[in-house]
């Protein structure tokens, strides 16, 4: 027998079939893959506990949204999230967007300490132990820009006069850091801030000729703008260095117009400006005599920059909610109002004289100097306020009802537009019906958007407060579940939940705040 044939027969007897015997064994249909394939939905990766690790190894920059299918805020974010993914894909960016169904993946929500939805975390270079919390806006362009500034450079390096001037000319607001040493820690502070100030364009330079061109002799951050004075300088303290908080306040203050017109585009920046005092001029922009008042208003503004924000509200535009907040009618324009955003105290001029630079200045000084008393909004007491099981309170009858020493009073402070308030309304009505024959218990409600109280301010809706009978004007904040059973236990136990009753915070969504809130909406697990 031929020796080669003998060798083949021997191999067959041993169960070996040639070179193919060294290939990996094919996985059977019943065997689970070690890694699942990553699916995709509208340009967003869909991850679970099996595929997150694979995604982190494949994508050095990964933004992951932990969402819940039932979460309204997640549903509102979904289309913007997909648009952001498309924007980055069109740029061939290295960053990918992904999402994880939180309730379906309890191991991941526990690992990453997810306690509310939506929660977004940014993973860099596959590191799953220290993701960065997403702090940017919830619209597509903002999401994409937040990621660009973390993956790429957040500030353009400027080498000559031509590049500096081109950057300044390209945008309405440009911030340039002039540093003699780009390795200095002040530069790191500057760049950290530039990552989050998405509405501004940043540059930096160490070139002596640029210091000379812009008249600088020391490290300085300069804000260039195409309005008002055109430029504002923030010198770096030679001993203390660059303070990020101080620089942030400076940029927010000086990037705004001395006089800003209130509208849907400017309102977020107005409320984020960190200037607590706002002076509002209410006018009708369609009337020439009203427009003529703007000159005096603008003339009075410069000395108050950083202390008082000057805002124009057009009563002829869609600003009815602003008028309502100040308890005004459009017919009262032109007029001034002053508000402190921290205390929500409102002020109106003592006299009704014309709006001039002098009268505006005098009004500001009077309020800041404590010479004008704030006014409180209040509706008139309805004649049938106590006829229903739920009593109707307003500013004018609140004190006598809430602090009646013979009554235990449970009050819901609500806003007509608040969805959480509407959802809990049936339980509140049922509670009032249940206790309507208890002479010492009062269930009431107060529209906190139309009535203000001297005792305290209400910032979120619904806010629930319990005023127990007896002296001392005691007030107990209710922070548990908003259902009839828990409400009843709270009342029956004298304004406390029984010790064996766990507080069901998860059943009570965060209070809704008016449109001027800068906090991001989320829902608890």
Which residues form the catalytic set?
A: 71, 74, 418, 421
Tell me the C-alpha to C-alpha distance, in Å, between residue 73 and each of 57, 460, 507, 521: 29, 17, 16, 7
Dist. CA 194–CA 155, nearest whole Å = 7
Tell me the C-alpha to C-alpha distance, in Å, between residue 221 and each of 150, 159, 170, 206, 299: 21, 16, 18, 12, 27
431 in helix, strand or coil? Answer: helix
Count CA atoms within 13 Å of residue 318 on its CB side: 4
Whether the CB-CB separation of 115 and 522 falls below 8 Å is answered with no
Closest by Cα among 377, 182, 346, 218 to 279: 346
Secondary structure (DSSP) of 232-262: EEEEPBTTTB--HHHHHHHHHHHTS-SEEE-
Whether the CB-CB separation of 219 and 182 falls below 8 Å is answered with no
Whether the CB-CB separation of 285 and 291 falls below 8 Å is answered with yes
Dist. CA 421–CA 464, nearest whole Å = 10
Tell me the C-alpha to C-alpha distance, in Å, between residue 414 and each of 195, 274, 340, 417, 455: 37, 26, 21, 9, 17
Count CA atoms within 13 Å of residue 317 on its CB side: 12
Tell me the C-alpha to C-alpha distance, in Å, between residue 179 and each of 123, 191, 215, 523: 31, 12, 14, 43
Report helix, strand and coil shares of the chain as percent, to nearest 5: 35, 20, 45
Q: How does strand 441-447 pair with strand 44-47?
A: unpaired
6-23 per-residue burial string, b: 16 or more CB within 10 A, e: under 16: eeeeeeeeeeeeeeeeee
Residue carrying structure tokens 């305290």 = 456
Contacts 24+ apart (CB under 8 A), 485-488: 487/410, 487/427, 487/428, 487/431, 488/431, 488/434
SS (H, E, C) 40-85: EECCEEEECCCCHHHHHHHCCEEEEEEECCCCHHHHHHHHHHHHHH
Whether the CB-CB separation of 484 and 452 falls below 8 Å is answered with no
Phi, psi of 237 (to 5 degrees): -65, 120
501 in helix, strand or coil? Answer: coil
**Cα Rg, the chain, nearest whole Å:** 31
What contacts 519, CB < 8 A, 6 or more positions away?
513
């Amino acid at each position: 027998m031929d020796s080669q044939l003998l060798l083949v027969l021997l191999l067959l007897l041993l169960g070996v079939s040639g070179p193919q015997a060294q290939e990996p064994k094919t996985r059977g249909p019943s065997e689970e893959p070690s890694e699942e394939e990553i699916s995709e939905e509208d340009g967003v990766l869909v991850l679970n506990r099996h595929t997150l690790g694979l995604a982190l190894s494949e994508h050095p920059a990964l933004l992951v949204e932990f969402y819940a299918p039932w979460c309204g805020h997640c549903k509102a974010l979904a289309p913007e999230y997909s648009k952001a993914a498309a924007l980055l894909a069109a740029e061939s960016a290295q960053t990918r967007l992904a999402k994880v169904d939180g309730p379906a993946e309890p191991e991941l929500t526990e690992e990453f300490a997810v306690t509310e939805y939506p929660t977004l975390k940014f993973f860099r270079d596959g590191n799953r132990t220290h993701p960065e919390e997403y702090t940017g806006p919830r619209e597509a362009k903002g999401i994409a820009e937040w990621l660009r500034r973390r993956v790429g450079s957040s500030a353009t390096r400027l080498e000559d006069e031509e590049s500096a001037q081109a950057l300044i000319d390209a945008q309405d607001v440009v911030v340039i850091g002039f540093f003699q040493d780009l390795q200095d820690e002040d530069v790191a502070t500057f760049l950290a801030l530039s990552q989050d100030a998405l509405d501004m364009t940043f540059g930096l330079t160490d070139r002596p000729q640029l210091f000379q061109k812009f008249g600088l002799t020391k490290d300085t951050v300069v804000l260039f703008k195409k309005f008002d004075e055109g430029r504002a300088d923030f010198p770096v303290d030679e001993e203390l260095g660059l303070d990020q908080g101080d620089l942030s306040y400076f940029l927010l203050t000086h990037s705004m117009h001395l006089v800003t017109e209130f509208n849907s585009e400017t309102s977020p920046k107005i409320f984020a400006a960190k200037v607590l005092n706002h002076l509002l001029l209410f006018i009708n922009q369609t009337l020439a005599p009203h427009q003529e008042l703007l000159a005096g208003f603008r003339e009075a503004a410069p000395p108050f920059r950083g202390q008082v924000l000057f805002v124009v509200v057009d009563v002829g535009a869609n600003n009815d909610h602003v008028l309502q907040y100040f308890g005004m009618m459009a017919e009262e324009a032109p007029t001034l109002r002053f508000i402190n955003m921290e205390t929500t105290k409102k002020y109106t001029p003592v006299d009704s004289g014309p709006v001039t630079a002098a009268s505006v200045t005098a009004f500001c000084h009077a309020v800041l100097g404590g010479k004008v008393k704030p006014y409180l909004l209040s509706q008139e007491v309805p004649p049938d306020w106590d006829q229903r099981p739920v009593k109707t309170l307003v500013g004018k009858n609140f004190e006598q009802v809430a602090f009646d020493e013979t009554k235990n009073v449970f009050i819901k402070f609500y806003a007509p537009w608040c969805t959480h308030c509407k959802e809990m309304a049936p339980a509140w009505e049922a509670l009032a019906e249940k206790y309507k024959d208890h002479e010492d218990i009062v269930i009431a409600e107060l529209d906190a958007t139309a009535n203000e109280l001297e005792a305290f301010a209400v910032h979120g809706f619904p806010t629930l407060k319990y005023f127990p009978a007896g002296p001392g004007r005691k007030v107990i904040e209710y922070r548990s579940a908003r259902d009839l059973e828990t409400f009843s236990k709270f009342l029956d136990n004298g304004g406390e939940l029984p010790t064996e009753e766990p507080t069901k915070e998860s059943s009570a969504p965060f209070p809704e705040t008016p449109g001027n809130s800068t906090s991001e909406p989320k829902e608890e697990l």
